[in-house]
Amino acid sequence: MADQGVSESSSNVSLDATKGVTMMFFGLFRRKKKAQSRKEAKDRLDSIVTGRRRSVPVQEVIPAELLKSSETDVVTQIKGYVAQRFKVKEENVKVQFEEHNGYVVIITNVVFH
Amino acid sequence: MAKTYVVTSGKGGVGKTTISATLGAALAAKGDKVCLIDADIGLKNLDLTLGLENRVVHTILDVVNGKVTALEALVRHKQMKNLFLLAASQIATKEMLSPDDMRRIVAELYPKFDFIIVDSPAGIERGFRNAVAAADRALVITTPELPAITDADRVIGLLENAGMAEDDIRLIINRFKPNMVKRGDMLTKDDIQENLAIELVGIIPDSEDVIVATNTGNPITLNGNQEHMIAHVFSNIALRLKGEMISIDKDLIYGGSRGFREFFKRIFGRN
């Protein structure tokens, strides 16, 4: 009985060893799934670069006359917002109005230095 | 009347000088009269890239100092008789030239050429401002790496601030590796273009032959190897700058894996 127990346990050990060797053998040929650096680069790039151009949804359309009459007020508000947002002086913010295909485009330039 | 392009990038080492020289040669090969201006004063290399370092007699500083006119200071290329160089001085500094000097020089050359290409130094300081001053268009060079792209983005902002229209600022991606893109290890052309939001006019695949061309002072478009894949890409870029509509995907045809035929050619075709 005791002999049988020993031979059983030794056969279990050899079975485990065989299994281990087999796993190692196949492990050599298994293709490692490499992390793709493009995705990380894209996420980082998106977070860095989007500062220059940001899409803002149109929430309200106002008549051209109203815009014209409140032009100074709009410029002052944009200058204030941009100066606060980018931590620059208000005189470093230049605001221009241009008409393109019937739309009024507000161009804001910021001089950082 | 010349179209005046400044070749700029912000980051150094992305290939501005090599692209200026090779693109100039590609445009000259198409029959245009091209003038290259080296604005990288103190660290000039455009003459070396073109193999003209021994032919330079007068530099841009001699023009600024009134010793010679801009036309008198030009060096004609050995092979391409319609390709000219206005060399920079090695001993001068960027502060010795002003944006107004550059405007005066370009104004003198403007009526005589089809294309004027100004090779800008790296950075966004005085040298950059000099190079940009006289240009009406810009070619922003980047490689598909984050530092180069973010610097390119900054430069685009500065160019727009200087009054250049967005349509006049165009992008070239250099040292592109399609195989790395396929593996997911490099940013794609769309990733870069989406972020920089300017028109892409060329994708130059990475090639060891460009280093060989620089070593010999023969731009790859003049190497007697016009069938080379890089020469094709530059030819495409030159045509796009001349206003022809050529798909950007055509540049990528030359940048993929070499394939079996090319592999055997490389092994058995060695000298």
Average pLDDT (B44-60) is 93
Q: Do A27 and A63 share a domain, yes or no? A: no
Kindly determine whether residue A50 and residue B195, on different chains, have CB atoms separated by under 8 Å.
yes
Q: Do A25 and A64 share a domain, yes or no? A: no
Q: What is the mean pLDDT of chain B?
A: 89
pLDDT band for position A96 (cuts 50, 70, 90): confident
Q: What is the pLDDT of residue B61?
A: 92
Average pLDDT (A58-72) is 82
Q: What is the pLDDT of residue B225?
A: 62
Position A2 in a domain = yes
Please check the confidence at residue B72 and state whether its pLDDT lies above 90.
Answer: yes
Q: List pLDDT tens digits, range A27-46.
A: 766 666 667 789 889 988 88
- Which residue range is the domain that position A9 belongs to? 1-31
How many domains does one find in chain A? Answer: 2
Q: What is the pLDDT of residue B271?
A: 43
Q: Do A25 and A63 share a domain, yes or no? A: no
CATH of the domain at B81: 3.40.50.300
Identify the sign of the CA torsion B228, B234, B235, B236.
positive
* Of residues B28, B52, B29, the one with CA closest to residue B38: B52
Q: Which two tokens stand for residue B92?
A: 């001068």
Position A16 in a domain = yes
- Report the relative pairing of strands B83-86 and A103-110 from DSSP bridges: unpaired
- Which residue range is the domain that position B85 belongs to? 3-268
Position A86 in a domain = yes
Give this complex's ipTM: 0.76
Residues of A in contact with B195 (CB under 8 A): 45-46, 49-50
Q: State how far Cα B54 lies from the chain centre.
A: 21
Position A14 in a domain = yes
Average pLDDT (B10-26) is 94
Q: What is the pLDDT of residue A59?
A: 75
Position A47 in a domain = no
Q: Do A65 and A26 share a domain, yes or no? A: no
Q: List pLDDT tens digits, range B56-70.
A: 999 999 999 999 999
**Chain B interface, best mutation among A49, A55, A96, by max B CB count within 10 A:** A49
- Nearest-5° Cα angle at A109, A101 to B165: 50
Please check the confidence at residue B15 and state whether its pLDDT lies above 60.
Answer: yes
The chain A residue lying nearest B145, using CA atoms, is A41
Least confident window among B39-43, B93-97, B238-242 = B93-97
Average pLDDT (B78-85) is 93
Q: Bridge-partner residues for A109, per DSSP?
A: A94
Residue B171 Cα distances to A96, B117, B157, B223, angstroms: 26, 15, 13, 25
**Chain A interface, best mutation among B187, B189, B192, by max A CB count within 10 A:** B187
- Report the relative pairing of strands B115-119 and B3-8 from DSSP bridges: parallel
Which of A42, A53, A111 minimises the CB distance to B187?
A42
